Amino acid sequence: MDELLLLLAKRGAMGARVRLTTSEIGHLLGMSQQNASVRLRSLEAGGMVERTASSLKLTAKAGAALRSEFSDLKKLFEGGSIRLRGRVAVGFKEGSFFISLPGYRKAIEEKLGFSPYPGTLNLEIIPRHVERRLELRSRAPIEIAGFSYKGKTYGPIEAYRCRVGGIDGAVIFPRRSQHGLSVIEIIAPVFLMGELRLKFGSELEVEVLA
């Protein structure tokens, strides 16, 4: 968040013109008068501040930027569900094998409270929701520990409870996933493709209860 915008908002410049010199700004923000002047000119050029010879006022654009920052911080500290929309995509056909492994099944039952259907639903997130996926990953997940089985090591999984089509499940992020940022994997106690009558390419929304 821009500290100068925040300072001006705190001084009342969101709704009225305020008198504040660049020397005062520099003193309040711990910078030189010259640096404060440069910063103020930059905000003015960016359409964030309206300035006259004796006063300053934040524009609607600045207000929107501050509200957006506040909303992001509020979600970060308070949580709340995140909705992701995408299309059902073809996966690497490995989900059935991995979710069937006793180490994963037992841990999922203990940590998430359901016995998972042996497979995952892959959802390719629409471009404007990819940022929400990044926001989700900034939150603390439910850890599914890795394990060794028949001489092989399987890595940990990070999970977030979710609801899709009225069915409770979880979005999972295997530590060794081959998927990029645009794809998420969903597990549930039922075969989601069948229960929700989905096809590859079907559009779907998932509510992540993080």
Residues 27 and 114 both lie in one domain: no
Residues 32 and 124 both lie in one domain: no
Cα(176)–Cα(114) distance, rounded to whole angstroms?
23
Please state the pTM of the whole predicted model.
0.62
Specify the 3-state DSSP secondary structure of 125: strand
Q: How many domains does the chain have?
A: 2
Last residue of a domain, which of 76, 102, 126? 76
Tell me the residue range of the domain where 16 lies. Answer: 3-76
Residues 18 and 86 both lie in one domain: no
Residues 92 and 166 both lie in one domain: yes
Residues 90 and 49 both lie in one domain: no
Say which CATH number the domain at 202 has. 2.40.30.30
Cα(46)–Cα(93) distance, rounded to whole angstroms?
49
- Extract the residue ranges of the chain whose pLDDT is less than 50: none
Residues 185 and 100 both lie in one domain: yes
Last residue of a domain, which of 57, 76, 95? 76
Residues 134 and 162 both lie in one domain: yes
> Tell me, what's the pLDDT at 114?
95
> Tell me, what's the pLDDT at 18?
92
Last residue of a domain, which of 76, 106, 129? 76
Cα(78)–Cα(71) distance, rounded to whole angstroms?
10
> Tell me, what's the pLDDT at 96?
77
Residues 201 and 102 both lie in one domain: yes
Residue 118 · residue 100 · CB < 8 Å: yes
Residues 194 and 94 both lie in one domain: yes
Residues 122 and 65 both lie in one domain: no
Residues 68 and 105 both lie in one domain: no
Say which CATH number the domain at 35 has. 1.10.10.10
Residues 68 and 118 both lie in one domain: no
Cα(182)–Cα(101) distance, rounded to whole angstroms?
26
Residue 86 · residue 208 · CB < 8 Å: no
- DSSP 8-class letter at 202: -
82-89 and 157-164 as β-strands: parallel, antiparallel, unpaired?
unpaired
Q: What share of the chain is helix, strand, coil (3-state, %, to 5)?
A: 40, 25, 35
